[in-house]
């Protein structure tokens, strides 16, 4: 049975080469444990809290830069696939990007659609739309962190045939007076679990730990199966970890709920027009 993995790392701000080496070490560990698909954190080679757009541009890389090249070489050497978060430099601007890489090289690129907080002043809004790629025969949908707050993107990925949602992420304590519940789960764990359950897909979230600029990163990386059950994690709130779990893509292709229901066949898109409407001002009601 294939193995799905997420690497929870502690990237060091302003140490791009060192962070790249950390990701390569994680790939080595994952390969040793038999992983066929590995997810690395959001912005895996840089810090997250940039003081300016110029600081971001100085650390970002193009898609043909050293990090994607090194990841591609490692994927080819080990015969595995990976999804990694990258600060992508494109022309004069930057994107918060997830790069999907298989043994034959880059298989797809997704640019984060929903930018969180200060990201809005640093990155260009993503322009790729929903991206699903084939990695070693597995249909993998790409999302990044805050994207999970918007139900439309994970559902679109599932409708496009994704069997696994690969989610590089940076879950923080911003606006969260109590980041964890009594189990040690953060609310993003619950959110990822809901997407696994309602779409019947695997959801693999790779977070970072540590902190910078007064922001704490929550860890709690996790893998959920199509029933919504956690099959690995949530990981520690403060340690680097590699989570590995077996997965069966065929389970994610089966949307049946007993003999009478099917999650996708039972949809009624003709009733969902409001999803495409612009939001109304507060207090205005539909006519």
**Does 286 reside within a domain?**
no
**Catalytic site residue from 42, 88, 240, 241:** 42
- Asked if 112 is an active-site residue, the reply is yes
CB 54 within 8 A of CB 96: no
**What percentage of the chain reaches a pLDDT higher than 70?**
97
Q: Is pLDDT at 108 greater than 80 in this prediction? A: yes
- Asked if 163 is an active-site residue, the reply is no
Q: Nearest Cα to 42, choosing from 11, 4, 76, 80? A: 11
Q: How far apart are CA 43 and CA 86, in angstroms?
A: 4
Q: At what angle do helices 66-78 and 16-32 cross, to 10 degrees?
A: 10
- As a whole number, mean pLDDT of residues 194-205 equals 98
216 Cβ contact partners less than 8 Å away, ≥ 6 residues apart: 172, 173, 179
Q: Is pLDDT at 88 greater than 80 in this prediction? A: yes
Q: Nearest Cα to 211, choosing from 179, 182, 183? A: 179
**What percentage of the chain reaches a pLDDT higher than 90?**
92
Q: Is pLDDT at 287 greater than 50 in this prediction? A: no
Q: Is pLDDT at 17 greater than 50 in this prediction? A: yes
**Does 173 reside within a domain?**
yes
Number of domains making up the chain: 1
CB 42 within 8 A of CB 168: yes
Identify the band that residue 80 occupies on the pLDDT scale cut at 50, 70 and 90.
Answer: very high
Neighbours of 144 (CB within 10 A): 29
Residue 175 has a pLDDT of: 87
**Does 52 reside within a domain?**
yes
50: tokens are 């940039």
Residue 281 has a pLDDT of: 66
3-state helix, strand, coil in the chain (%, to 5): 30, 30, 40
The maximal CA–CA distance of the chain, rounded, in angstroms, is: 60
- Asked if 145 is an active-site residue, the reply is yes
**Does 284 reside within a domain?**
no
Q: How far apart are CA 166 and CA 188, in angstroms?
A: 14
Alpha-carbon distances, residue 142 vs 177, 193, 276 (angstroms): 29, 16, 21
Residue 278 has a pLDDT of: 72
Query: In which domain, by residue range, is 35 found?
Result: 3-254
**Does 282 reside within a domain?**
no
> pTM of the entire structure?
0.95
In what helix (H) or strand (E) does residue 58 lie, and over which residues does it extend?
helix 53-59
**Does 264 reside within a domain?**
no
Identify the band that residue 24 occupies on the pLDDT scale cut at 50, 70 and 90.
Answer: very high
Q: How far apart are CA 176 and CA 179, in angstroms?
A: 5
Beta bridge partners of 209: 218
284: tokens are 């205005």
**Does 266 reside within a domain?**
no
Q: How far apart are CA 28 and CA 201, in angstroms?
A: 26
Q: How far apart are CA 12 and CA 97, in angstroms?
A: 19
CATH code for the domain in which residue 51 is found: 3.60.110.10
Full DSSP string of 95-143: EEEEEEEETTEEEEEEE-SS--TTHHHHSPPP-S-S-EEEETTEEEEE-
Tens of pLDDT, residues 139-188:
999 999 999 999 999 999 999 999 999 999 999 999 889 999 999 999 99
**Does 287 reside within a domain?**
no
Identify the band that residue 209 occupies on the pLDDT scale cut at 50, 70 and 90.
Answer: very high
**Catalytic site residue from 59, 88, 145, 205:** 145
**Catalytic site residue from 61, 88, 112, 205:** 112
Residue 113 has a pLDDT of: 98
Identify the band that residue 258 occupies on the pLDDT scale cut at 50, 70 and 90.
Answer: very high
Torsional class of 105: left (φ above 0), alpha (ψ -120 to 50), beta (otherwise)? left
| Residue whose tokens read 């698909």 | 37
């Amino acid at each position: 049975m294939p193995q799905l993995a997420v690497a929870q790392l502690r990237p060091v701000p302003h140490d791009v080469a060192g962070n790249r080496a950390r990701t390569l070490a994680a790939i080595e560990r994952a390969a040793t444990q038999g992983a066929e698909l590995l997810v690395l954190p959001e912005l895996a080679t840089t810090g997250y809290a940039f003081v300016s757009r110029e600081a971001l541009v100085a650390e970002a890389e193009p898609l043909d830069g050293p990090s994607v090249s090194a990841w591609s070489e490692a994927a080819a050497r080990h015969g595995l696939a990976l999804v990694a978060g990258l600060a992508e430099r494109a022309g004069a601007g930057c994107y918060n990007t997830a790069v999907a890489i298989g043994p034959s090289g880059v298989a797809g690129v997704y640019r984060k659609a929903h930018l969180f907080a200060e990201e809005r002043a640093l990155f260009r809004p993503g322009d790729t739309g929903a991206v699903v790629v084939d990695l070693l025969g597995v249909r993998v949908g790409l999302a990044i962190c805050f994207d999970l707050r918007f139900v439309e993107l994970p559902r679109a990925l599932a409708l496009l045939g994704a069997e696994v949602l690969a989610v590089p992420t940076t879950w923080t304590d911003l606006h969260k007076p109590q980041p964890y519940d009594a189990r040690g789960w953060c609310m993003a764990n619950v959110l990822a679990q809901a997407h696994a359950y309602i779409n019947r897909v695997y959801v693999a979230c790779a977070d970072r730990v540590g902190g910078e600029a007064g922001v704490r990163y929550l860890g709690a990386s996790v893998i959920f199966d199509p029933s919504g059950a956690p099959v690995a994690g949530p990981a520690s709130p403060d340690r680097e970890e590699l989570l590995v779990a077996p997965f069966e893509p065929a389970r994610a292709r089966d949307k049946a709920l007993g003999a009478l229901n099917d999650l996708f066949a039972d949809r009624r898109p003709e009733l969902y027009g409001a999803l495409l409407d612009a939001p109304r001002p507060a207090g205005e009601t539909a006519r």
